[in-house]
A = this chain, B = another copy of it.
Amino acid sequence: MAKLTKREENYSQWYNELVNKADLAENSDVRGCMIIKPYGYSIWEKMQAALDRMFKDTGHSNAYFPLFIPKSYLSKEASHIQGFAKECAVVTHYRLKTSEDGKSVIVDPDAKLEEELIIRPTSETIIWNSYRNWIQSYRDLPILLNQWANVVRWEMRTRLFLRTAEFLWQEGHTAHATKDEAISEAEQMLRVYAKFAEEFMAMPVLQGVKSENERFAGAVETYCIEALMQDGKALQAGTSHFLGQNFAKAFDVKYATKEGGQEYVWATSWGVSTRLMGALIMSHSDDLGLVLPPKLAPIHVAIVPIYRGEEQLAEISVYAHQLRDELRAKGLEVRYDDRDTHKPGFKFAEYEMKGVPVRIAIGPKDMEKGTVEVARRDTLEKAFIAQDKVVDHVLHLMDDIQSTIYQRALKHRAENTTSVDDYESFKEVLEKKGGFVLAHWDGSAETEELIKQETKATIRLIPIEGESEAGVCVRTGKPSERRVVFAKAY
C-alpha cells in the first residue's frame, strides 16, 4: 500500500489521499457528488445512531418531507431566498423520450412543469408550509421533529465530505408557543451537538453564536460549534438556529393561545451533516492514515496471525477464534484476518490506514509464551500482553484511546489559540501560526468584512458565556466588550 503524502508537505493532498486509501469516499462522475463507500458509510451510521438516540432522548421524533420544493416557496422568506435560492438543482421536466434517430434519449419538451421544483437545499419552507395545517392551538405545540435526508447545494468548489453538491444530514425543525421555549430548544440542541462532538468524535469544540454576516439565512440567531483542525483551520461542525417568527410569518402559521388570542409560532432548526466525517478525519489522523475514536470505529480490533504453514495457522486460529469471541461478547467489533493472499505487513498497514484502534498480532512464539502483541493506533505503542489479561487490556484501551485522542486534540487547540491586541500581530498569527485568534472587534459588519478581505479570516463565533473584557477593536480601534474568535476556516 503506497504511503500517504505527509501532512506537513501538503495537508490538502494528504486529506484527499487518506479519504481515498482508507476507502471512505470517492468522487462520482456527477460533478460535486460523492460516493460514500462502505467503510466510510459504516462510520456515518455510527454517528447517526448516536445522534439519533440523543435526539430521541430529548423528545424528538423523526419524519420525512419531500425532496422537492416548489420554486415559489423559496421566495416567501425574504432573507432565506438570498441565502439558498441561488445555487441549486432545478427540476424543469418530468419525462424523457427517445430521440428521432432512436439512438438516445432526450428531454421531452411537452413535459415541462408548470412550476419548477428545487431539490431541497434545506427544508424550512416545505416543513413550515405543512406546519400551517398541523398547528391550530397551543395544544398542538411544541412540535419536535427531525429528518435524516439528502440535500443539494450547487457548490462550485467541492471536496469530499467537506463541501459536496449533495450531502447527507439531519435537520431538526421545531415549533413552539413562546420565544423563550424556542431559544431554550436551540440552545439545548447546540449542547447536544457539543456533547456528541466531544464524547463520540473526541473532538473538542467551542460553542457560541455567529455574527450577523455568518448567520443562517432566515435566522434571528445562529448558534454553532467550531472545531480546530490539525492544519490550524477552523471547521463549523454544527449549527442550531433560533428562527424567531420569520417562517411562521412567511407561511402564516398561527396558534390559538390559552387565553383565546392568535399568535405566530416560534421556530428553531438545527443540523449536522456528512461534513462531520471530514472533521473527524482531520481531528485525529496522522501520516499513516485514519485514527478513529473507538466509539465510532466500525472495527475495534483486528487480529492478525503470523505463521509459516498450515499447522502454525491452525494452532493460532484456535486461540484467535476464542479471543475474537470473548471480545465480541464484550460488545466489540472484531475482525480475525487470516487471509492467505496478503502478508502481515500489508495487513498492519491496511488497519493503520483504516484507523482500527487496536491491532493484535499472534505468532508461534506468542503461543509458546502465552502472550499476544497489542498495538494501539493512536500512539503506535506496542506491548506484549499475557493471554489471560488481553480482554481486560483491550477494554481498557478502548477508553484510553478515546480519552487520549480527545486530550491530544484539546492540547493542539490550546497551543493554537492566541490572544492578540493589535492588527499586526493579528495578521502575523493568522499568517504564520493559524489557529483560533481571540481578538477584540467593534461589532460592525463592515469591519468584519474588511478583516475578511484583508486576512481571509472570519469570525467563527462570539462566545455566549465567558467573561466580558473591555478592549478596542484590532482593526478600527473602536471600543469592544469582549473578544471574539477569528480563524481561517473550511
Contact = CB atoms under 8 A, between A and B. Distances in A.
A370 interface: no
Given A90-B107, A93-B90, A105-B75, A41 B64 contact: yes
Nearest to A148: B148
Contacts of A74: 96, 105
Given A66-B33, A130-B35, A94 B87 contact: yes
Contacts of A11: none
A75 B96 CA distance: 11
A192 interface: no
Interface in A85-139: 85-97, 104-105, 107, 116-119, 126, 129-130, 139
Nearest to A25: B64
A446 interface: no
A90 B119 CA distance: 11
Contacts of A10: none
B91 A168 contact: no
A411 B38 CA distance: 42
Q: Assign chain A's interface to a size class.
A: 35 or more
B64 A35 contact: yes
A29 interface: yes
Given A86-B95, A90-B93, A95-B88, A67 B150 contact: yes
Interface in A148-203: 149-150, 152, 154, 166, 168
A84 to B, nearest CB: 9
B117 A89 contact: yes
A117 B29 CA distance: 11
A130 B66 contact: no
Contacts of A145: 38
A36 interface: yes
Nearest to A103: B75
Given A85-B105, A96-B85, A63 B36 contact: yes
Nearest to A73: B29
Contacts of A36: 63-64
A166 B119 CA distance: 12
Contacts of A105: 71, 74-75, 81, 85
A129 B29 contact: yes
A118 B95 CA distance: 10
A453 interface: no
Contacts of A29: 70, 126, 129
Contacts of A97: 86
A118 B96 contact: yes
A141 to B, nearest CB: 13
A280 interface: no
Interface string A238-275: 00000000000000000000000000000000000000
Interface of A: 26, 28-30, 33-38, 41-42, 45, 61-72, 74-75, 81, 85-97, 104-105, 107, 116-119, 126, 129-130, 139, 145, 149-150, 152, 154, 166, 168, 341
9 contacts: A28-B126, A37-B63, A67-B152, A72-B104, A89-B91, A90-B94, A95-B154, A119-B119, A149-B150
